[in-house]
């Protein structure tokens, strides 16, 4: 997540409870993050758009990525 934000010149929040809208993390950023995770792990992440709507904080994104990798 840090590298996605960094490439866009956005600061990495120091608090995992930071709201994604506040830090400027958008759906396209999430897509880029998912692609990077897939590249690094060699696996495909299977997630539903409906589940993404519930993600509001940095911690939510990190938890989802962890859960998707565990599947």
What pTM, to 2 d.p., does this model score? 0.74
Structural contact between residues 37 and 69, judged by C-beta atoms closer than 8 angstroms:
yes
User: Domains along the chain?
Assistant: 2-70 (1.10.1200.10)
Q: What is the pLDDT of residue 17?
A: 94
Half-sphere exposure of 70 (CA within 13 A, CB side): 6
Higher per-residue pLDDT: 70 or 3: 3
State how far the Cα of 1 lies from the Cα of 3, in Å rounded to an integer.
6
When mean pLDDT is compared across 5-9, 39-43, 47-51, 55-59, the lowest value belongs to 47-51
4-42 pLDDT tens trace:
889 888 888 889 999 998 998 888 888 888 888 888 888
């Amino acid at each position: 997540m840090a590298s996605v934000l960094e490439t866009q010149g956005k600061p990495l929040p120091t608090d995992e409870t930071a709201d994604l809208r506040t830090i400027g993390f958008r759906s396209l950023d999430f897509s880029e993050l998912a692609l990077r995770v897939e590249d690094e792990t060699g696996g495909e992440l299977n997630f539903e758009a409906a589940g993404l709507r519930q993600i509001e904080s940095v911690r939510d994104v990190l938890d989802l990525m962890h859960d998707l990798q565990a599947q």
